[in-house]
């Protein structure tokens, strides 16, 4: 596959995030640069630029003279990111609710319909992709470019962990119910409720991930 030159490293970073999210690349794995370059039809320069981006996000560890390795932050660091995201996305939900047009809501409702479809198929990967589009559009409605930049950076960092949180039994079902409630708050233009629901949505994801971490420790 070929990419436009101006978006090489951005698209490559997105692809690598997806590979980490679905488990194609696991924690501790060394990134095979030669194999990736051949598969993507790219040179090592944009790949290494993408790896530097992911190293800033805490998904890749660059080791001099050894290469790039998949890593991840501690659970405490992840929980801190979720705390910040809950505040930011809560603010986004309130601001979007206050600025939302009928056309905006229609687009949001269509994204929710797609989310329901992925839920019915129990397609967790598809669900997370549409979920990301839904939350990104809520952020877009605010029209706040600074908020967009900050929130987008954090969202990319925690995307993997939002995916993992769905593995807790019952969390997938809770997530779609939370989205239904959130959509209704947007429908009613209830800014206060939209903010509260969005913050709880992020906090519930963090708690689900924490439960999985504790279960993993207990089993080991």
Query: Structural domain boundaries of the chain?
Result: 5-70, 75-219
- Tell me the CA distances in angstroms from 201 to 32, 72, 208, one per residue in order: 36, 22, 11
Same fold, 5-70 and 75-219: no
Cα 86 from Cα 99, distance rounded (Å):
20
For the chain, first and last CA: distance in Å? Answer: 41
35-39, 44-48, 89-93, 216-220: least confident range: 216-220
Torsion of CA 77, 135, 182, 106, to 10 degrees: 180
pLDDT of residue 92: 95
- The correct answer on CATH 1.10.10.10 for the domain covering 5-70 is yes
pLDDT for residue 165? 85
Going by the DSSP 8-state scheme, the letter that residue 144 receives in this structure is -
Distances (CA, A) of 129 to 18, 51, 181: 10, 21, 20
Question: With a threshold of 0.85, does the pTM exceed it?
Answer: no
Asked if residue 217 has pLDDT above 70, the reply is no
CB atoms within 10 A of CB 108: 21
Tokens 């039994």 correspond to 169
What mean pLDDT comes out for the span 42-52? 91
Average of per-residue pLDDT across 89-114: 97
Are 140 and 101 in contact by the 8 Å Cβ rule? The answer is: no
CATH number for region 75-219? 1.20.120.530
């Amino acid at each position: 596959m070929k990419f436009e030159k101006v978006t090489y490293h951005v698209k490559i970073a997105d692809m690598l995030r997806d590979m980490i999210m679905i488990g194609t690349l696991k924690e501790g794995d060394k990134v095979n640069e030669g194999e990736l370059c051949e598969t993507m039809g790219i040179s090592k320069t944009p790949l290494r630029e993408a790896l530097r981006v992911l190293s800033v996000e805490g998904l890749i560890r660059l080791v001099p003279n050894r290469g790039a390795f998949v890593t991840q932050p501690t659970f405490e660091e992840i929980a801190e990111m979720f705390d910040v995201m809950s505040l930011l996305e809560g603010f986004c939900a309130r601001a979007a609710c206050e600025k939302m047009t009928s056309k905006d809501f229609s687009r949001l409702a269509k994204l929710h319909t797609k989310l329901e479809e992925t839920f019915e198929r129990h397609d967790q990967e598809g669900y997370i992709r549409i979920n990301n589009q839904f939350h990104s559009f809520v952020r877009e409605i605010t029209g706040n470019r600074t908020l967009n930049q900050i929130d987008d950076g954090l969202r990319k960092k925690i995307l993997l962990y939002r995916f993992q949180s769905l593995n807790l039994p019952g969390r997938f079902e809770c997530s779609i119910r939370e989205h239904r409630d959130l959509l209704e708050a947007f429908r009613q233009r209830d800014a206060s409720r939209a903010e509260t629901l969005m913050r709880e949505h992020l906090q519930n994801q963090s708690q689900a991930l924490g439960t999985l971490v504790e279960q993993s420790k207990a089993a080991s």
